Structure 1
Amino acid sequence: MESRYAVVHYAEIGLKGHNRGFFERTLARRIQERLQDVGPASVERLPGRLLVRLPRPIPETAWVERLRTVFGIAYFAPTIPAPKDLATLTEIVLRHLPSEPVPSFRIRASRADKSFPFTSQEIERHIGAAVQRQTGWRVNLSEPAWEAYIEIAYNTALVSFARHRGPGGLPVGVSGRVGLLLSGGIDSPVAGYFMLKRGCEVIPIHFHSGPFGDWAASEAKATAIVRRLRPYGMAPWLHIVPIGEPQRAIVLAAPAPYRLILYRRLMVRVAEELTRREGGLALVTGDSLGQVASQTLESLAAIEDAATMPILRPLIGMDKVEIIERARAIGTYDLSIMPGEECCQFLMPPKVVTRPSVEAVREIEARVEIEALVRQALDQAMRVPVGEAASVLLPDAHGSEHPRGA
């Protein structure tokens, strides 16, 4: 089916009170941004839903591809606006019956405008009887093979023939801005996804071991991950911070088991300043409790001690299998497992302390000129634009480079 209209339903936004209009307007803006490559969209706010209109019809697959990545949408459907007239609605349904017979069907109606002279059940029975007379198909109210949806809004009626689930959550932009410590691993991209789902603008910040190690592959992989998350609303730029020199300074001054904790405290301080410059209010990490040595409660407390902003950890209660499943679903998993050294792998000590005390960490960090290292990292940080459709060169499993769409 081709259509220039789609009806969009939200769920969580419907629970809002006097500020619901703000959420609806933000959702409308995000929909327009997501559809801009197929034409300028207008969005009309109807009670409990939005009506999206494009200047020309597009295939249903194009609607699905774009709107399924817009947070705030519960479900949506390409639709046909129609007069609020039962005979006209019946004629539209009959005109759009499947070309091949189906084993069963169902008509579903809802009536926001209670002044319409027919109830939802009466609409369903009337149109369903017309379909049966014309086709002989069987009605199945629980698991139909084909459905038609009739919505009686206040100023129009809407006829749809397929509903598609959206990602849910809140539209990006209603919950403030956060900085994401984006490694090249599996977890942090998923953490960024979940913060986008909660309505945050997410600013990705990637640390690599430059000028040492395989920093170029690490940077390319992080860029590809950001591009993959752009349709969900990730910021169109990436902060890249080389910290190889500060890491080397920490190695010279700190006992080996504490170095990883000090690396991460350094990154928290740098990420805070970059986030603050972007107007952000919190940091986000991909920590999952107990997954690795640096993610015990004691280690997390020692790292967070360096922060002045809240550190949000949306994956804290998820296990690795759950995180991988989500990474596969959003398309970041294959990118995350590509070769590319993470900054904390550079100068990784053979043994990492798992139960550090905050006091011990502070005492060891005092041997390091931490403020000077933070300034050094910030001086080398770059804010790099990230496109949505470009490809990057990533090494494959055999070490050769090839373009990888993001």
Structure 2
Amino acid sequence: MKEILLLKDGEIVLKGLNRRSFEDVLKKNLKHALRSAGRFEITSAQSTIYVKPLDDDADLEKACEIVSRVFGIIAFSRAAVCEKTIESVLETAPKYLENQLNNIKTFKVEAKRSDKKFPLKSPEICREVGGEILSKFPHLKVDVHNPDLVVNVEIRDFGAYVHGEPIRGAGGIPVGTGGRAAILISGGLDSPVAAYMMAKRGIRLTAIHFASPPYTSPRAEDKVVRLLRRVSRYAGDMVMYTVPFTKLQEKIKDECPEELFTIIMRRLMMQISERIAEKYECQALITGESLGQVASQTIGALSCTDEATDMLVFRPLIGMDKQEIIDIAYKIDTYDISIEPYEDCCTVFTPKHPRTRPVLKYVKEAQEKPNFEPLVEEALQNLKVTRISADDE
């Protein structure tokens, strides 16, 4: 029995005259994501994207798993393809859904007839298919209000399709339609979730990680790579630039007031990230900060951090509490990696009594006294480049 995946667009349907360009990006993303599951033909018509296997060994189970993580799809179905006759539909529906029908008590049939030339109207299709299923599965009853299974029959221009209830997709809009931004990524819970959330809004990601060997171990950097591979299941392939930050942190520790260590460190991170982002055509920075979560994330501290860059800064977690962030980390499968006990550079030189209400004037004065620029240039000249792909897991 031939099968196909039927994908329903999400927000794309609201894009008016731009809808075609969004769909083109979505199809390109699907083709790239599905490359490890086999060869597929991807077409679109009637507000649906059709993913058709081109080989008998195409892995539809894996394809479904991949499609569930592609932003821009609100729902999808694995469906049987049959001839566009009521006889073929009646033969296909009980056979294709046999396992599900054997394990439920109630069902109903829903039919959509996009091809108005089909001789039966939707209520008539429902009646015919429902009667056929009842004759083959006498233990079943029809429940139109709260059925255990909805049997879907779609009569379209290209054929007839039978499937169970649609599976929820990732939503959002296709990655690449919202521009490019750089995520300041650490090994904690927050920044991978922030990366996921901005990818969901169509952002193509570049990652920037700050490492401070020997204070941070190679395992800490490896942890970040593994986190980004999990994020890339949703966000697609990306590049990570690792910034050698040790000398800058040591200079902050030696020449700046202790209560301002974190603020000055964050300002330098933003300034370095801005320069990397501009070089690689990113239009914004992304951080995992949440208001009030730690001392460097108060309104005053965030204001001082923002002043260090002219680039737009996205903070998708700003109004979320920790449990909400943890819930998303579980959903995208980054939680277990994030809680591994390898410290990142943000935790190495944490002051005992950080300033929660810093005054910008005094922060800038403290940052300007040391000459950080030669060390910033040195760090930028020694970036480590790592290419990230979910296929490498």
Would you call these one fold, judging by a TM-score over 0.5? yes
Using the TM superposition, name which of 192-201 and 26-35 deviates more: 26-35
1:175 equivalenced with 2:178 (yes/no): yes
Q: CA deviation at 1:117?
A: 4.0
> 2:69: which partner in 1?
69
Contact 2:205–2:238, Cα closer than 8 Å, also in 1: no
Residues 50-94 of structure 1: CA deviation (Å, up to 9, x unaligned): 001112355653233211111111111112233332232222113
Name the amino acid aligned to 1:341.
E
Which structure's residues are more often helix, by fraction?
2
Once residues 295 and 259 of structure 1 are traced to their aligned partners in structure 2, the CA distance between those partners, rounded to angstroms, is 14
The answer to whether the Cα contact below 8 Å between 1:104 and 1:146 also exists between their aligned partners in 2 is yes
Shift of 1:31: 1.2
Q: How far apart are 1:114 and its partner, in Å?
A: 4.0
For residues 318 and 383 of structure 2, what CA distance do their matches in structure 1 show?
Answer: 28
Instruction: Specify whether residues 128 and 300 from structure 1 end up closer, same or farther in structure 2 by C-alpha distance, changes over 3 A only.
Output: same
> How far is the alpha carbon of 1:389 from its aligned partner?
4.4
Match of 2:9 in 1: 10
Shift of 1:215: 3.1
Task: Measure how far apart 1:387 and its partner are.
Answer: 4.4
Asked whether the 8 Å contact 2:208–2:241 carries over to 1, the reply is: yes
1:212-361 correspondence to structure 2 within 5 Å? 212-361=214-363
Aligned twin of 1:396: none
Conserved in 1, the CA contact under 8 Å of 2:207 and 2:238?
no
- Cα deviations by residue, 1:179-212 (Å, 9 ceiling, x for unpaired): 00001100000000001111111111111112x3
Note the residue ranges of structure 1 that are not aligned, 5 or more in a row: 391-405
Query: SS where residue 173 of structure 2 aligns?
Result: coil
Q: Which amino acid aligns with 2:144?
A: L
The residue number in structure 2 matching 1:403 is: none
| C-alpha separation in 1, matches of 2:176 and 2:242 | 23
Which residue does 1:399 correspond to in 2? Answer: none
Number of the residue aligned with 1:199: 202
For residues 160 and 349 of structure 1, the distance between their equivalents in structure 2, rounded to whole angstroms, comes to: 59
Query: When the two structures are superposed, what TM-score results if normalisation uses the length of structure 1?
Result: 0.91
Cα deviation digits, residues 290-314 of structure 1 (max 9, x gap): 1110001111110010111100000
* Aligned AA (1:11): G
What is the letter of the counterpart of residue 185 of structure 2? L
2:157 to 145, 151, 154: 154
Residue 277 of structure 1 aligns with an amino acid whose one-letter code is: K
Q: How many residues align?
A: 389
CA distance in 2 between counterparts of 1:225 and 1:342 reads: 13
Q: Is the 8 A contact 1:4 1:56 kept in 2?
A: no
Q: How does 1:181-192 map to 2 (within 5 A)?
A: 181-192=184-195
Q: For residues 152-202 of structure 1, give each alpha carbon's deviation from its aligned partner in whole angstroms, at most 9, with x where no partner exists.
A: 223332222342111110111111111000011000000000011111111
Q: CA RMSD in A?
A: 1.8
Q: Give CA deviations for 1:108-159 in whole Å, capped at 9, x if unaligned.
A: 2123334444332232122112222332220122332333211222333222
3-state DSSP class of the match of 1:36? helix
Sort the Cα spacing of 1:7 and 1:53 in 2 relative to 1 into closer, same or farther, 3 A.
same
| SS class of match (2:300) | helix
2: CA distance, partners of 1:360 / 1:153 = 68
* Gaps in structure 2 of 5+ consecutive residues: none
1:165 aligns with 2:168: yes
Identity of aligned residues (%): 34
2: distance between equivalents of 1:97 and 1:289?
49
Q: Residue type of the partner of 1:63? A: A
- Cα distance, 1:241–1:101 mapped onto 2, change above 3 Å: closer
| Paired residue type of 1:76 | F
Question: What is the TM-score when the length of structure 2 is the normalising length?
Answer: 0.94
Contact 2:70 2:170 in 1 (8 A): yes
Q: Deviations over 1:234-275 (max 9, x none)?
A: 434311111010111122221111111110111111111212
One-letter amino acid matched to 1:382? K
Which residue number corresponds to residue 379 of structure 1? 381
1:26-45 → structure 2 map (5 Å cutoff): 26-45=25-44
Q: CA deviation at 1:3?
A: 5.3
Aligned in 2, Cα 1:203/1:101: closer, same or farther, shift over 3 Å? closer
Distance 1:13 1:387, change over 3 A: closer
